[in-house]
Every structure is written in structure tokens, then in C-alpha cells.
A and B are shown apart, each in its own frame.
Chain A
Amino acid sequence: MAEVSKGIAEKWGLVVDQDRCTGCNACVVACSMENNVPFTGEDNVAFGRGTYWIYNKRMWEGTYPEVAPAFQPVMCQQCGSAPCEPVCPTFAAVHSEEEQINLQIYNRCIGTRYCANNCPYHARQFNFEDPNIPEPMNSYLNPDVTVRRRGVMEKCTFCVQRIVAGRQTASAEDRPLRDGEVTPACVAACPSDALVFGDLSDPNSRVSQMAQNERQYKLMDELGTRPKVTYLKGGGRNGG
């Protein structure tokens, strides 16, 4: 396994085609079910504490009758130069060497919430209370993902458990990972194929190709965070 992956610098990336995205929020639910994200209940959502690793920032464009929603699903952008990492006093927000993504180590997190303040995308969520998943509903919890207790931050990990599983499978079969072999839950669910995931270090991967699209932009590129998520403009007549 080590031989196979040695020397291969993975650089996982995601492309969000906003022209395909319908805003249906299947990604939100798929992510939550895969990653044991707890549901928080009406009061917490009303208070602004709904926990979503990915959520659609729906803004309105225009005024009636030419009004239309502008959907932008935003998850952790897995910044190459992440604002959340340096501010964490305990190295709970760390950059993974192998996947080149940004991870949260729940055991190390002491809950200063500094990372969440410093994330310009508001992609980080705080566990204000312990998850309340009554038995037997806890049966569906994914054993590959930690269930977070209260007091720690959490966020999108590009489903790192799936990346690792995919890599292990590939190395067990003594072959490199195929493009499209690993898909995070949101990508797998997306009914309109708006999300594409893959290795950006491979110039021939689908995600690399799409990231070259002329419609591409990065969220808050001006901040120099070097996000690994690329958005393709959509809506209106921007598409073709």
C-alpha cells in the first residue's frame, strides 16, 4: 500500500457546476447521513445552529417578476492556504499531507471556535450540544466517521474516509486509483451531476478538465485561501 501511494501527491478537488445545480439539497442530506451529522431540531435551526457541512446559500437575483434564486452550495473549500489552520491552538485543524485537504481532529479540538470565526466561507460548524439520536436510530451511524460530542468543531472532510477506503482498495489490487473511483457522499447523490470530484494533480482527471472551464471561479479568491473547490458560473445565459 505504501509503495503504491508513495510519491503520488494527491490533490483532491471538487467542481460545482452551478448551471447544473438545481438547489435540491440532496447533497445536504447525503452528507449528513454519511458523516453522522446530527439533526438539531427546529429551535436550533431557528437560532442559527443547524449543522450542515454543505448548504445552499440561496440569494435572490432581480425583483418580481424577473426574480430567480441563485443557488450556491458551499462546503469546506479545503483551502490550500487555510485561514482556519494557523489559528487553532491545538492543531485540531490540520492539513493532511497525503490528501492535501483540511481536516479536523475532533479529539484535539478544545472548542475555541477561532477557526470558525476565521473561515470566510462559514463552512465550520460547532457542536453546541451532544447529538440527540434516540435508539435504535443510532444504528445507521456510519462507523467510519466519529460521532462528535458537544464542544468540538466539525466540517466537511471531502469524505476522507471514502478517499482512504478507495486508496486502500486500489493498493490492495496493486493499481493506481481510477478517476471517479472515490466520490464523497454529496457528489454521489447529486441528481443533476453538478458536483464532480477527483484528483487535481492528475491533469487528465475529469475534475481537472472541468476546473479549466472558462466559467470557473473560486469563492473569495481575493483572500488568497487557494480553495480546492472550483465553481462554474451558471444561471441566466452564462452557461453555454
Chain B
Amino acid sequence: MSDKITRRNFLKIAGAGAAISAVLTGCGPMSRYIVRRPYTEMPEYNQTGLNTYYASTCRECAAGCGIIVRTKEGRAITIEGNPQHPLNRGRLCARGITAQQGLYNPDRVFGPIFQARGDTSRQARTTWDEVIPVVSDALKSPASQIAFLLGTAPDHLFDLVAEWARSNGAPAPLRYSALASFEGRSTLQEAANRTFGKPALPFFDLANAEVVFSFGANFLETWLSPVSYSSAYGDMRQARPTRRGYLVAFEARQSLTAGNADEWIPIKPGSEGLVALALARLIAEARGDDVPAAARSIDPATVAETAGIEPAKLTELARLFAASEHSLAIPGGGAICQHEGLATAQAILQLNVQVNNLGVPGGVYLTNTEQPTTSLAEVYNLVQKMNNSQVKVLFIHSANPVFELPKVLGFEEALAKVPLVISFATFPDETAMLSDYVLPDHSPLESFGYQRMLAAADRPVYSSIQPVVAPLYDTRSTADVLLAAAAAAGSPLPYTDEVDFIQQMIVPLISAGGFYTAPEIQTFWSRWLQYGGWWVTEQGLDTDISAAPSRSAAFSGPIALEEDKQFHLVVFPTQLGDGAGANRPWLQEMPDPMTTLTWNTWVEINPETADRLGIHDDDVVRVTTPYGALEASVYRYPAIRPDTIAIPFGQGHTALGRWAEGRGANPAALLPAAVNESGDLAYNDVVASIALTGKRRPLARVESREGVYGEH
């Protein structure tokens, strides 16, 4: 392999044991063509007592942060951000940091299994030689009856499968992640399309903004690219000597982002669009501009009342927004995941247009991401096809639809109607348990790949994924399995294996003007692995953005509730992401930032409401929506509207290993099947009722209840 060229040089530096940035190796366990030997014959890239660092990409969510994994004697020890990566610049969030707990998790799938849909009498370990023909036969099914359901990461597998599907006439692979669903990615992209005429995720230049209005976008915790946005947030606050950015958050339940905001405006769920229009009117008035057509019929005072806030506050905020140099309005999360979500997202994006904050520092740009989204509507179509027995084979990779999708959608029942379900899960998750075969992929730290759809990248970036340790178990790369099976099925792709595929995919990058180049692919490949990807040095987003005039929209406003009987329900993702983080003990043990709770599911309720209803901390309540019910303990949360309750997403697993199973409740049971115009789950419209069960189950909190809340 090409690494021969650079190996010596890098080994010299590695031998010095210098700081992280200096010793990224371009070779190592990735050298898949090297025969593996027992560790008594130590490979030369590993020296006892010395660290070896590998650059890769975090696959714990779709953001695609660059990571540097420190390995020692062939074990992944610590993971840190890649300081040169343009997305996260050396920073990393809790999910990325705990990725080794996925790699070394004792509950992984150790090898290919004939799972028999959970029928233990027929379950058996099998071998790759036996299962490749199974996959190959499956690929021989009529192309229209083959379905792929992939996760938001990794992108290279999506590209590979998409290419196969294209060349064989099969439906394009679907991508789904509950996290993306909660973020409202499709809506954001569609809103950008309608507003700016390009279907791409917008990039908000938070670092240079002066006033930021966030509508439901919890960008400090989970939204799109939390590390990148957190970094920008820090700069927005303190990087400029003269100006401290001002953040205002509009949402019913105070998320971490709203908690860090200078002002948290607890508007009713469903009133975001109206508030955006009212702000549009007030901003136009404050700036002396023409009031946009869509906002002309809006009376801010009425809107304020509808949203449950002071009219004066709205005026004050509009003046602030209008008067500042770089005012940014960010739509996201629950605000755009409702039946009028798309219009809401557009109305919010229009605020940026109004203050001419497009394509300038501190403003809105459009990223180069295409098809980054996971439209739930398409998943619905799939479920429908499955129910109609139009799907013969379902391949599932990096997604756990049985857990993540709203229960009312009936994915589990539909799955039973698919004759052959093949899961490539690394963990025995809920979906894998119901599959015919589990053909485990390598864990992300043992895999090759790349991420190219980085939601918060301010320039063209391809982020590379490489193995940092030799695979621990009898797992096999899904790309390799598919390539081998496709070849056997007579529908081969022109790639010998996964690495070959990736190399061919990145050939165009050699001459694309990145920060390095190489005469030929092998050298390029070596650097690609060494640097953790490819990108350009300068910020490279389109500065020429034009906006279509605002569409007139009529918002129906928030749903009327019966006081103390009905509540708006907010379901929010946490550090557990789409639920796949639940088997990482340190993610479980990490206190939730706002509540300091760990290891369980809770129901947040305003203490005043709780007092009226006679609900105490740790009381188990039953939360019921028209779609289902769950039971969980109460956390009296002071930062939530009195007419709203909130439940974190990610717990309530029935599979996924010892740390995840039988813990908490899965709010997917409460969610509707309804989607908004752009195909995102309309989870913000749900009305729930709660009832005491008479049980009590103390939550594991790090804070002192007595000290913080004065309760004994």
C-alpha cells in the first residue's frame, strides 16, 4: 500500500511521542492488506508504551466531527477532537468522547447470526461464507421489492447503496434517524429551498452574529452539529473584544440552549410562526421598511397574547433585532416540527432576509449538503409498502426503526410482513432482534468510510473514517458484504472492496483545491487518512444568496388546552441521541445538563402546575396522548411553561445490552404518525394528559433537591 511512502516519516515523529497534532499516522490497522499476526509480533506502527494517534470521524451522530483516537498497544484509549478539522476544531461532545464504550461494549454482536426473528429455538451462529449467498439471493429479488433503510451515518455506505440501487433500478435507500427527525432537517432544508431556492441545509454563522433568535433550535445539545455550534456560541459570547452576542430563545421548555440564552421567551408550542410574523412586522416598523406581505394582517399584541407573552417584550425584542448589525434567526426543533412547521421555518428564515443578513459574516449561508435528510414521509411509504407485502427484502443499517419510529406507525407489525429482514447492526438492538439475519458491521472505530454531508460545515469537507483498532470480533464491513453479494448476484459494482470504493469516490478531490493534494490516489489516500479527511482552507460558502419574497401564511396558532387537564407535550433528544447512546454507561451516568438526572426517563412539569395537581418529585405519572401512554417519574422543572410537559427521548430500550435494557420509558409511544408538509414528524402538536399512578420511583439526580429547591 501507499503508506510505505509516508510510514517511515511518521514513525519517526510517532517515536518521539510528540503532541497529538504532530503524530497522526497515515497507516495502522487500516492497512487491511497486511496479514494480522498475534501481538507477540508487534506491528511496527505500535510500540509498547507509545501512543499512536489516528484521525477519523465520529459516527455517533450525523454531524461528522473529526476525531483523533489515541491508541496504545492496539487499544483505543481516548478520543479527542481533531484540531485541524474545520467543523469541530479539536472539540468534541460527550457522545463522541464515549465512542470506545461502543467499541468495547460487552454486548456487541460477535459475528453473523441467524436471528430467526427472535425465535430462540431456531437461532444460531452462522458464518460469513454461509450468509453471503443469503444476501446475494436477496439482491436477486425484483429490484422494486428491495428496500434499504440506513442511518444518517455513514455517508459512504449510503453512496454505495444508492449507486447499486440506481444501477439496478431499485428504490433509493432511505435514511432515518430519530435525531434528524427531532431536528427537523427535512423541514429546514425545504424551507431553505423555498426561501433561497436551493435545497440545502442553511449554515448559521453564530460566531459573528450579534443578536440571535433561536426558535426551538437546541444547537448547544443535539441540533444539527452541536460541537460546531457550541464552539461558535462561545465565540459569539466572548471572542470579540467589543461586542458580546445576545441570544434569545423562543421555546416552551427551556432546553440547554434556552438556558444559556440571555432571554428565554416561553411561548406556547404552535405559536412560533405567529411570533415570527409578529416580529417581522415589528422589525419592519422599527427599521422603517415595508411590512412584508405575510405579516401585514398580523396584530403583534394579539399574537403576544396567543403565545402567552407580554406584547411589550415582543416589541423590545424586535427593536433589538432590527437595531443590531448581524441579527440571526434560527428555526429548528419543535418549532418547525409541527403541522405548520414548514411555513414556520420559512417565516423565521425570512427574519434574516428582512435584516439583509444573508451570505455575510454573522448571517445565513447555504451549505453544500445534498440529500442530508431523513424524511419521515418516505419511511411511511416504506411501511405502507411493507404492509402491502410489496417489500421482499429489507436491509437495515445504523438505524433502529422499531425503537425510534413512533409506535403508532406500526413498523414492528409491518416488519413481520417482510419475508426477509437483514440487519447489519453492531448491537443487538430492537430491530436486529426482529430480523432474520444479523450480519454485524464493524463498529465505527473499526471501519472505513467518510462523511460528506456535514450540516454545520462552512466549506466543502469530506471527513474520513478509518479503523483505529483491528476488528475485535467476527464482524464484516457492510459495504464489503454488499459488494461481494452483489457480485455473486450478478449485479456487481465496479469496486473490489470498500476501500477501493472510497478511493474511487475521492479521486475527484485530488484536484478539487483542498489543503493538500497528491500526484496519485495512493498518496492522496494516505494523507486523506492521516489528516482525517479533505477540506479547503478558507471558508467556502456561497455568499450570493437571494431570497424569495415571504409567502403569505396563515397560522392556526397553538392548540387550545383544557387547563391542568391537557398539556403540550415536548419530546426532546438528549445526549443519548437517537437512543443508540443508551448502551454507553458514561452517557447514562453523565448528568443531564438541565436537570442533573441520570440513567432514566423523567417527566418535566412546572412546579406550580404540579402543586395544583398534587404531584411531587419522583411520583410516577402516566402520560397519555391519543397515540399511546407511558409511565415515568416526575421532575419538577422550574423552566417549563405551566401548560407544557416534557419527556426526554432515548431510554426505554427492550434490547441493546445491559446498560440500556429495561431502563426508563420510550416516548416514541406517545408520538403521532402525522408529518408536516416537508415530511418531518409533527411531534410538537401533541397534547397529553397526565395522571398519578400512586407509585413513587426516585430519580437518580446529582443535585441536592433540598439544596437547590429547598424541598426535603
Contacts and interface: CB of A to CB of B under 8 A. Distances in A.
Tell whether any CB of A sits under 8 Å from a CB of B in the complex. yes
Interface of A: 17, 19-20, 22-26, 28-30, 32-34, 39-43, 45-46, 50, 52, 55-60, 63-69, 71, 134-143, 165-166, 168-169, 172-173, 181, 185, 188-194, 234, 236-237, 239-240
B177 to A, nearest CB: 20
Contacts of B31: none
Given A42-B600, A45-B700, A188 B80 contact: yes
B606 A64 contact: yes
B260 A22 contact: yes
Interface in B228-247: 230-231, 233-235, 237-238, 242-244
Interface in B674-710: 698-703, 708
A33 B95 CA distance: 12
A177 to B, nearest CB: 10
B79 A165 contact: no
A173 B19 CA distance: 12
Nearest to B592: A25
B76 A140 contact: yes
Given A25-B575, A28-B94, 16 more contacts: A20-B234, A26-B92, A29-B97, A29-B586, A30-B80, A30-B94, A34-B78, A39-B588, A45-B598, A46-B699, A66-B264, A140-B101, A169-B17, A185-B80, A192-B230, A193-B235
B106 interface: yes
The 9 A-B residue pairs with the shortest CB-CB distance, nearest first, are A192-B234, A240-B244, A191-B230, A46-B700, A42-B599, A20-B234, A140-B100, A45-B700, A29-B94
A55 B244 CA distance: 26
Given A42-B600, A189-B91, A25 B590 contact: yes
A140 to B, nearest CB: 4
B91 A193 contact: yes
Interface in B399-440: none
B65 to A, nearest CB: 9
Contacts of A22: 220, 230, 233-234, 256-257, 260, 593
B356 interface: no
A68 B255 CA distance: 10
Q: In the complex, which of the residues A135, A166, A181, A239 has the most CB atoms of chain B within 10 Å of its own CB atom?
A: A239
A181 B227 CA distance: 22
B578 interface: no
B98 interface: yes
Contacts of B92: 26, 30, 189, 191
A33 B421 CA distance: 36
Interface residues of B, number: 79
Contacts of A169: 16-19
Nearest to B227: A191
A192 B92 CA distance: 10
A24 B18 contact: no
Contacts of B441: none
20 contacts: A22-B220, A22-B230, A24-B94, A24-B221, A24-B226, A24-B256, A25-B94, A26-B97, A28-B590, A29-B97, A45-B598, A58-B594, A139-B75, A139-B100, A140-B104, A165-B17, A188-B80, A192-B91, A192-B231, A192-B234
Contacts of A142: 77-78
Interface in B579-610: 585-591, 593-594, 596, 598-600, 606, 608
B55 interface: no
B638 A67 contact: yes
B88 interface: yes
A236 B91 CA distance: 25
A173 to B, nearest CB: 7
Contact of B98 (A33, A45, A143): A33
Contacts of B557: none
Contact of B103 (A17, A67, A140): A140
A237 B600 CA distance: 35
Q: In the complex, which of the residues B19, B98, B244, B608 has the most CB atoms of chain A within 10 Å of its own CB atom?
A: B19
Nearest to B258: A68
A23 B259 contact: yes
B702 A45 contact: yes
Given A64-B638, A134-B106, A143-B77, A191 B98 contact: no
Contacts of B472: 136
Nearest to B88: A191
B266 interface: yes
A30 B97 contact: yes
A165 B50 CA distance: 11
B260 A189 contact: no
Interface string B94-115: 1001101101111000000000
